[in-house]
Amino acid sequence: MTDVLVLGGTGWLSGRVAREWLARGARVTCLARGGRPAPDGAALVVGDRETRDAYAAVAAHEWDEVVDVSSMPSHVAQAAGALGERARHWTYVSSLSVYAADDVAGADESAALAEPALPGDAYDYARAKSAAEASVRAACGDRAAVVRPGLIVGDGDPTDRFGYWVGRFALAADGPVLVPGDERRSQVIDVDDLARFLVDRGEKRWHGVANATGPSAPLSDVLRAARAVAGHTGTVVAASDADLLAHDVAYWMGPRSLPLWLPADMPGFATRSIETYLREGGQHAPLTETLERALAHERALGLERERRAGLTRPDELSIIDALGA
Ligand SMILES: NC(=O)c1ccc[n+]([C@@H]2O[C@H](COP(=O)([O-])OP(=O)(O)OC[C@H]3O[C@@H](n4cnc5c(N)ncnc54)[C@H](OP(=O)(O)O)[C@@H]3O)[C@@H](O)[C@H]2O)c1
């Protein structure tokens, strides 16, 4: 039986990875702080990675596979130091944000990385991922897979970004919806496609680096698909970058944002090469299926709830009104 240690396993992506390993017959142990359960069938070892003895209960074991999703360089370095030598294979979940620049469309995994973060530096996500990758490479060498996901989407997404669109079109019904009017690209990966790809890395003991995301598409195509899945029949109000910025609408994420809308000066961000992902057997669920699951999740949470990302419906209607649309 394959013995798998998931550093995490109680959250979104790491929970899906733990479940996928269980579905393939592995014995799975999750290490987390203990406030949330591990998936049914997995063991939970309670440990806080901020503490020195976090790995004491799992360090003597010879793991076939260790999966780490942390974005804290100190956590990743300590785990790799404590467990790396005895692990047969290690899969680290990095991010497409690890790259130094987003200025070249279609760039592959050889693009330059952000400077690795140093201890004591102010937290920077790209630099944190870069330092974490370096720790994994140093400890595990050719036993390590480093996977760099793009925007992870689907049901259960705690960031509230992708689900905003299908949820908003459903909430608006026959009313208006505000969308970015200046064309941008989008590149997303379904959480379950990603979990399968990550587990495949471990099963195959694959080593290397892979971007893991979907095909690059116009954002307007994604929004059109979200509208169709939601059955929206109202007006679509397309606002220019200048109009959205004039109304203090933020790019990409967070409150008062239009999720997935990117600044124009990041042509490389949603156009990364996925050749390695495809060559190594990575798959893509049809976008419609991902949107249907995202909509079910949105409905279960409540379409009018306070969101971590997006415009409130009253703010959206007031901007539409101010635009005279
Ligand atoms: N969301 C995206 O679109 C996106 C895009 C690209 C890359 N990524 C990357 O994908 C990865 C997965 O993201 P996620 O948010 O879904 O993660 P997640 O599965 O929620 O994993 C975080 C896990 O770490 C555990 N954890 C956190 N702090 C801990 C501590 N101090 N000690 C022990 N365990 C701790 C959490 O458990 P407890 O809280 O129960 O302790 C949880 O199980 C991240 O590396 C992220 O950078 C995400």
pLDDT digits (tens, 9 = 90+) for 214-260: 999 999 999 999 999 999 999 999 999 999 999 999 999 999 999 99
Final residue of a structural domain among 149, 173, 196: 149
Return the pLDDT at 314: 98
Ligand 1 pocket mutation, candidates 48, 50, 95, criterion most atoms within 8 A of CB: 95
Cβ pair 206, 200 in contact under 8 A: yes
Alpha-helical (H) ranges within the chain are 12-23, 73-83, 125-140, 162-172, 191-203, 219-230, 241-246, 275-279, 287-301, 313-322
Return the pLDDT at 44: 98
Structural domain count of the chain:
2
CA 227 – CA 229 distance, rounded (Å): 6
The answer as to whether 197 is a domain residue is no
Return the pLDDT at 2: 97
* Cα-trace Rg, the chain: 20
CA 200 – CA 203 distance, rounded (Å): 5
> Are residues 165 and 231 both part of a single domain?
yes
> Are residues 297 and 251 both part of a single domain?
yes
> Are residues 134 and 158 both part of a single domain?
no
Return the pLDDT at 135: 98
Q: How far is the CA of 85 from the centre of ligand 1 (A)?
A: 23
Residue 119: Cβ within 10 Å count = 8
Q: How far is the CA of 133 from the centre of ligand 1 (A)?
A: 15
Closest CA to 66 of 94, 89, 41: 89
Return the pLDDT at 325: 75
CA 20 – CA 278 distance, rounded (Å): 20
Final residue of a structural domain among 94, 121, 149: 149
Q: How far is the CA of 74 from the centre of ligand 1 (A)?
A: 14
In the predicted model, residues of the chain with pLDDT beneath 50 are none
The answer as to whether 194 is a domain residue is no
